[in-house]
Amino acid sequence: MLNTLTRMPADMSSDSRRKLLNAVTDLFLLDADPSEESKDHYGDIALRSLPHLDADGRREYADSVAATGTLPRQVAVTLANDADADVARLVLKLSPVLTDTDLAAIAVSQTQTHLAAIAERARLSEGVTDILVERGDTTVLRTVSGNEGAQFSDHGFDRLLQRGGDDAGVGEALSRRSDLSPQRAQRVLRIVEQISDQSERNEETETLAKQARQQRLEVKLLLSDLRAKTRTLDDVVTMLAEEDRAFHLAQVIATSAEVTNEQALRVLMQRDVSGIAVLARILELGKHSFHAILELRARRLYFKAKDIEDDLKDYEQLDMATAERTMRFLRLKTKLS
């Protein structure tokens, strides 16, 4: 069927192509492990269709496949390079298909909005962050500074401090990181202190840094309480979600579900709710806890109240057997990768 569809008429309207692409995408995504031939045919259809879609059509399509691990790489690259940053944003942020080479090429050539989306990825290699701190504006520098999944080379960290060292937002973001070596932490502390001395935000900066340290310690204590069973997972998840602490919430979910922090953060923040719903069901989270997670996602991803209601109803109907099968597949992929 896909082979036949690749020979689509050249005079198809934009709306017809959009409908066709959506229909073929639904079929393609049904196969969790498509053959290379199937991926090639699907990729050909997508690449032929995209140039004929308007911005809304491309954005709708990009959002629907952004986190798909079987998406043909060239399709992901095409979407990520779209001149309309709204089309590229979620693909740049979530796609597991894009390689470091792809991200580096985009970071070198695309707009600051594209760079800001890359800076939000759950994991960033040193090579990519080197480019982000060299080309990025203040928004990009602040975002990558606060991204604990971003790794910095010595050169990249030096350039970050050179380009953003006098910006309070960069200093504050770095001061919250839990992965800084003692040497880097001392350098950041000195910069934060210098900014504080020169700025009316002295008290605010110190408060934010102190708050970040307290929150990191709090997460460690919460995990300890969960192991000791002095707190319930539902209570901890609800508290972190209501406080809008997505990164810390992902840490707790990852530890409890025995997946990586990157996997937990990705499913928590991708638009498709099925991934986080599976993890929540495996952890036997109650309706109230999952509702708190949905509200956090709505704040971050701009979902409507009706979306929350629908997702909550679907969660209540998700049976444990289906969730367990999905988790076994996820853990197998993790071991093989």
Q: Which of 63, 78, 98 is the last residue before a domain boundary?
A: 98
What is the token pair recorded at 131? 């480019």
Between 260 and 40, the higher pLDDT residue: 40
Residue 136 lies in a domain: no
For the stretch 233-242, pLDDT in tens is: 999 999 999 9
Residue 67 lies in a domain: yes
Mean pLDDT throughout 298-323?
87
What is the token pair recorded at 244? 């809008």
Domain ranges, residue 242:
232-336
Least confident window among 77-81, 83-87, 315-319: 315-319
The distance of Cα 230 from the centroid of its chain, to the nearest Å, equals 31
Residue 73 lies in a domain: yes
Between 3 and 230, the higher pLDDT residue: 230
**210 pLDDT above the threshold of 70:** no
**200 pLDDT above the threshold of 60:** no
Mean pLDDT throughout 16-41?
86
**193 pLDDT above the threshold of 50:** yes
Q: What percent of the chain has pLDDT over 70?
A: 88
Spatial distance between the Cα atoms of 107 and 117, rounded to a whole number of angstroms: 10
Domains in the chain, number:
2
Between 120 and 306, the higher pLDDT residue: 120
Least confident window among 3-17, 125-139, 240-254, 315-329: 3-17
pLDDT at 3: 47
pLDDT at 7: 47
Residue 94 lies in a domain: yes
Residue 8 lies in a domain: yes
Handedness of CA 19, 21, 27, 29 (dihedral sign): negative
pTM (whole model) above 0.75 = no
Q: Which residues contact 113 (CB under 8 A, 6 or more apart)?
A: 85, 89
Q: Which of 46, 76, 98 is the last residue before a domain boundary?
A: 98
* Residue among 251, 170, 261, 175 nearest 211 (CA): 175
Least confident window among 144-153, 190-199, 314-323: 190-199
Tokens 């690259």, residue located: 77
Least confident window among 81-85, 89-93, 194-198, 274-278: 194-198
**Burial of residue 158 (number of CB atoms within 10 Å: 0-12, 13-18, 19+):** middle
Residue 248 lies in a domain: yes
Buried b (16+ CB within 10 A) or exposed e, 65-78: bbbbebbbebbbbb
**201 pLDDT above the threshold of 70:** no
User: Cα–Cα distances in Å, from 334 out to 65, 92, 200, 263?
Assistant: 20, 21, 48, 9
The pLDDT confidence band at residue 154, using thresholds 50, 70 and 90, is very high
284: left (phi over 0), alpha (psi -120 to 50) or beta: left
pLDDT at 112: 96
**336 pLDDT above the threshold of 70:** no
Which residue type does 10 have? A
Spatial distance between the Cα atoms of 194 and 188, rounded to a whole number of angstroms: 10
For the stretch 120-137, pLDDT in tens is: 999 999 999 999 999 999
pLDDT at 44: 92
Spatial distance between the Cα atoms of 273 and 269, rounded to a whole number of angstroms: 9
Q: Which of 58, 73, 98 is the last residue before a domain boundary?
A: 98
Please give the mean pLDDT across all residues of the chain: 85
Spatial distance between the Cα atoms of 272 and 234, rounded to a whole number of angstroms: 22
The string of DSSP letters for 140-206 reads HHHHHHH-TTB---HHHHHHHHHHHTT-HHHHHHHHT-S---HHHHHHHHHHHHHHHHHSTTHHHHH
Least confident window among 71-85, 114-128, 209-223: 209-223
pLDDT at 334: 46
Residue 124 lies in a domain: no
pLDDT at 184: 84
pLDDT at 47: 93
